[in-house]
Structures are given as structure tokens and as C-alpha cells.
Amino acid sequence: MASFNTVAGCVLASALFAMVVGKVSNALVHPHKLEKPAIAVSDEAPTTAVAAAPAQELPPIGPKLASANVEAGKAIFQKQCFTCHTIDKGGPNKVGPNLWEVVGRKKGSHEGFSYSSGMQAKGGDWTYEDIDHMIFKPTAYIKGTKMAFAGLPKEQERADVIAYLRSMAASPKPLP
Ligand code: HEC
């Protein structure tokens, strides 16, 4: 019995010892593992991808506008755009320009707002299609734009928002 206890004691002790050694060596090894800069790997890929990405072809948004939901668009606007844009008549410029009557407005023309040079060089009026491209991916549509917004990937959401933008005018432009 005594020898059994001794053996059992030894086994237990070495098991404990192994556990402690394991913990300690883990603690010693882990910091070294974490020192490897996992983030640095992604350093190059995205920048080249963004630079090389061609302007994306979007199917025309016009046909989707007739059935778009203005109320849903308003809710999306308040969540995604309102931090930077007011849209009421005579509303102040914030990070971005006021968007009252933006449909059909000359690009980069709202008074008192200092647009990026890319926006100033763009030219033309805001058509439904142009707004669609702008809110799909601002950086792809206007080189060096100040609009730091990732974009709305969902076509239905863009249609709803554009329908809302259209409604925010004294006399909304005709649908295409
Ligand atoms: C982080 C701030 C920010 C957010 C969020 C943002 N915008 Fe903008 N927006 C800007 C800025 C800044 C400009 C001016 C861009 C420039 O000068 O390049 C702009 C410009 C625009 C213009 C062109 C206006 C003009 O006078 O020519 C439209 C249209 C527009 N935004 C719509 C939207 C919509 C719709 C949303 C939400 C889906 C949105 N923006 C979200 C900052 C923002």
C-alpha cells in the first residue's frame, strides 16, 4: 500500500510538474508568437487593390426608383448620412454639404461648402445614376473625394435613399 501511495504520489507530482512547466513555457512562448506582426501582411494588398479597381459598372438605378420606399430611404439617410449632411431647406453644411434639392443640382455647387478638387473637376448635374455611383462607392466615383463614406452596397437601399433625396425638393424631379 505504501509503495502504491508513493508511486501514485510520484505520478501526481510529475503530472503537476508537467502542467506547471507547460503553463510557464506557454507564458514564455506566447509573447514571442504575438510579436509577429499579423497586421503587416495586409499592408500592401488593399492599397494596390483600391488603386487598381476600375470604376464599377452598376445596373441602372432609374427603373428601381418608381417602386422605391421613401420612408425606408429616410431611415437609412438618418442612420448613414445625417452625421455629415443636413437635408432640410436652408440647412447648414456639416462635414458634407446640405443636400436639399440635390437631384438635378450642379455637382459641387452648394454655397459655402469647400469641395475637394476632384469634386470641383467632376462637372455636370447630379442625375439619379450619378448619385447612385456616388453613394455606392464615393472614392471610386470621385478621385480624392472628401466624402469618407464606405458606401451602400445594397441596390435596394440606394434606390430608397435616392427616392428620399428626390422627395426633399420643392418640386421633385420627374422619375426617369
Ligand atoms: C463621413 C461624412 C459623410 C457621410 C457619412 C456621407 N457623406 Fe455625402 N458628402 C460628404 C462630403 C465631405 C462631401 C463633399 C465631397 C467632396 O467635396 O469631395 C459629400 C458629398 C455628397 C454629395 C454631393 C453633393 C454636392 O453638393 O455636390 C452627395 C449627393 C452626397 N454626399 C450624398 C450622401 C448620402 C446619400 C449619404 C448617405 C448614404 C452620404 N452622402 C454620406 C460627407 C459624407
pLDDT digits (tens, 9 = 90+) for 51-68: 444 556 899 999 999 999
| Mean pLDDT confidence for 71-81 | 98
Q: What is the pLDDT of residues 14-27, one digit of tens each?
A: 655 555 555 555 55
Hey, what's the cell of 10?
Answer: 510520484
d(CA 99, CA 105): 9
If you measure from the C-alpha of residue 135 to the centroid of ligand 1, how many angstroms do you get, rounded to a whole number?
8
Backbone angles phi, psi at 125, to 5 degrees: -100, 160
More confident site: 103 or 12? 103
Pocket probe mutation, ligand 1, options 84, 95, 135, max atoms within 8 Å of Cβ: 84
Q: Are 168 and 101 in contact (CB under 8 A)?
A: yes
Q: CB within 8 A of 68, min separation 6: which ones?
A: 156, 159, 160, 162, 163
Q: What is the CA radius of gyration of the chain?
A: 29
If you measure from the C-alpha of residue 49 to the centroid of ligand 1, how many angstroms do you get, rounded to a whole number?
23
Task: Say how many CA atoms lie within 13 Å of 104 toward its Cβ.
Answer: 13
From the alpha carbon of 76, which atom of ligand 1 is closest? Answer: 38
If you measure from the C-alpha of residue 120 to the centroid of ligand 1, how many angstroms do you get, rounded to a whole number?
13
What one-letter code names the amino acid at 102?
V
Task: List ligand 1's pocket residues with C-beta within 6 A.
Answer: 80-81, 83-85, 95-97, 99, 102, 107-108, 110, 115-116, 118-119, 126, 131, 134-135, 142, 145-149, 152, 161
Q: Tell me, what's the pLDDT at 163?
A: 98
Q: Tell me, what's the pLDDT at 8?
A: 59
| Mean pLDDT confidence for 139-153 | 97
Pocket probe mutation, ligand 1, options 77, 85, 126, 161, max atoms within 8 Å of Cβ: 85
From the alpha carbon of 102, which atom of ligand 1 is closest? Answer: 29
Q: Residue 45: is its pLDDT beyond 50? A: no
Q: Please calculate the CA angle 168-174-176 and round it to the nearest 5 degrees.
A: 120
Q: Tell me, what's the pLDDT at 5?
A: 62
Task: Using alpha carbons, list the distances in angstroms from residue 38 to 31, 33, 35.
Answer: 13, 10, 8
- For the entire predicted model, the pTM comes to 0.75
d(CA 155, CA 152): 8
If you measure from the C-alpha of residue 74 to the centroid of ligand 1, how many angstroms do you get, rounded to a whole number?
15
Q: Tell me, what's the pLDDT at 57?
A: 83
Pocket probe mutation, ligand 1, options 81, 102, 115, 130, max atoms within 8 Å of Cβ: 81
